[in-house]
Copies of this chain bind each other. A is one copy, B any other.
Protein backbone atom coordinates (compact mmCIF):
# COMPACT_ATOMS: atom_id res chain seq x y z
CA UNK A 1 0.00 0.00 0.00
CA UNK A 2 1.37 3.41 -0.95
CA UNK A 3 1.91 6.10 1.65
CA UNK A 4 -0.68 8.47 0.19
CA UNK A 5 -3.53 6.02 0.67
CA UNK A 6 -2.21 5.00 4.06
CA UNK A 7 -2.28 8.60 5.29
CA UNK A 8 -5.65 9.23 3.71
CA UNK A 9 -7.18 6.25 5.49
CA UNK A 10 -5.67 7.29 8.80
CA UNK A 11 -7.11 10.77 8.46
CA UNK A 12 -10.49 9.47 7.43
CA UNK A 13 -10.63 7.20 10.47
CA UNK A 14 -9.66 10.02 12.80
CA UNK A 15 -12.92 11.94 12.76
CA UNK A 16 -15.44 10.47 15.23
CA UNK A 17 -18.55 11.32 13.20
CA UNK A 18 -17.06 9.96 10.02
CA UNK A 19 -15.94 6.82 11.77
CA UNK A 20 -19.40 6.42 13.24
CA UNK A 21 -20.82 6.57 9.73
CA UNK A 22 -18.36 3.93 8.59
CA UNK A 23 -19.29 1.82 11.60
CA UNK A 24 -22.96 2.18 10.68
CA UNK A 25 -22.22 1.05 7.14
CA UNK A 26 -20.24 -1.92 8.42
CA UNK A 27 -23.17 -2.99 10.57
CA UNK A 28 -25.18 -4.12 7.55
CA UNK A 29 -23.92 -5.64 4.34
CA UNK A 30 -25.28 -2.61 2.52
CA UNK A 31 -26.61 0.69 3.84
CA UNK A 32 -28.72 3.26 1.96
CA UNK A 33 -27.64 6.86 2.23
CA UNK A 34 -31.04 7.93 3.53
CA UNK A 35 -30.71 5.70 6.54
CA UNK A 36 -27.49 7.42 7.56
CA UNK A 37 -29.08 10.83 7.13
CA UNK A 38 -31.97 9.77 9.33
CA UNK A 39 -29.83 8.32 12.09
CA UNK A 40 -27.16 11.00 12.41
CA UNK A 41 -27.59 14.46 13.86
CA UNK A 42 -25.70 16.23 11.10
CA UNK A 43 -26.77 17.74 7.82
CA UNK A 44 -27.22 15.65 4.72
CA UNK A 45 -24.61 17.79 2.96
CA UNK A 46 -22.03 17.00 5.63
CA UNK A 47 -22.84 13.30 5.40
CA UNK A 48 -22.41 13.43 1.64
CA UNK A 49 -19.03 15.03 2.20
CA UNK A 50 -17.95 12.34 4.65
CA UNK A 51 -19.13 9.57 2.34
CA UNK A 52 -17.09 11.08 -0.45
CA UNK A 53 -14.02 11.03 1.78
CA UNK A 54 -14.68 7.44 2.77
CA UNK A 55 -15.01 6.47 -0.88
CA UNK A 56 -11.85 8.42 -1.72
CA UNK A 57 -9.99 6.41 0.89
CA UNK A 58 -11.35 3.26 -0.74
CA UNK A 59 -13.00 2.31 2.51
CA UNK A 60 -16.53 2.12 1.12
CA UNK A 61 -18.05 1.13 -2.17
CA UNK A 62 -21.00 2.92 -3.74
CA UNK A 63 -23.80 1.30 -5.69
CA UNK A 64 -26.26 3.62 -7.42
CA UNK A 65 -29.81 2.44 -7.85
CA UNK A 66 -31.98 5.12 -9.39
CA UNK A 67 -31.96 8.10 -7.11
CA UNK A 68 -30.67 6.09 -4.18
CA UNK A 69 -27.09 5.36 -3.22
CA UNK A 70 -26.08 2.28 -1.26
CA UNK A 71 -22.81 2.01 0.61
CA UNK A 72 -20.86 -1.00 1.77
CA UNK A 73 -17.59 -1.48 3.63
CA UNK A 74 -14.53 -2.57 1.67
CA UNK A 75 -12.97 -4.97 4.12
CA UNK A 76 -10.03 -5.59 1.81
CA UNK A 77 -8.91 -1.98 2.26
CA UNK A 78 -9.40 -2.15 5.99
CA UNK A 79 -7.38 -5.35 6.19
CA UNK A 80 -4.64 -3.89 4.03
CA UNK A 81 -4.49 -0.81 6.26
CA UNK A 82 -4.21 -2.87 9.41
CA UNK A 83 -1.50 -5.00 7.86
CA UNK A 84 0.39 -1.91 6.78
CA UNK A 85 0.03 -0.34 10.21
CA UNK A 86 1.40 -3.43 11.90
CA UNK A 87 4.21 -3.73 9.38
CA UNK A 88 5.35 -0.13 9.74
CA UNK A 89 5.53 -0.40 13.51
CA UNK A 90 6.90 -3.90 13.70
CA UNK A 91 10.45 -2.65 14.04
CA UNK A 92 11.53 -4.39 10.85
CA UNK A 93 12.56 -2.37 7.82
CA UNK A 94 9.89 -2.71 5.18
CA UNK A 95 10.49 0.06 2.69
CA UNK A 96 13.81 -1.01 1.12
CA UNK A 97 15.54 -4.27 0.76
CA UNK A 98 18.08 -3.75 3.53
CA UNK A 99 17.28 -6.10 6.34
CA UNK A 100 20.55 -5.72 8.18
CA UNK A 101 20.33 -2.49 10.16
Contacts and interface: CB of A to CB of B under 8 A. Distances in A.
Interface of A: 3, 7, 10-11, 13-14, 16, 19, 22-23, 26-29, 73, 75, 78, 82, 85-86, 88-91, 93
A51 B86 CA distance: 20
A85 B88 contact: no
A7 to B, nearest CB: 5
A91 B26 CA distance: 5
Contact of A19 (B10, B27, B28, B90): B10
Copies of this chain present in the complex amount to 2
Given A14-B13, A14-B14, A27 B82 contact: no
Nearest to A79: B86
B89 A22 contact: yes
Nearest to A88: B23
23 contacts: A3-B16, A7-B14, A7-B16, A10-B10, A10-B13, A11-B14, A13-B85, A14-B14, A19-B88, A22-B89, A23-B89, A26-B88, A26-B89, A26-B90, A26-B91, A27-B91, A27-B93, A29-B91, A73-B89, A78-B85, A78-B86, A82-B82, A82-B85
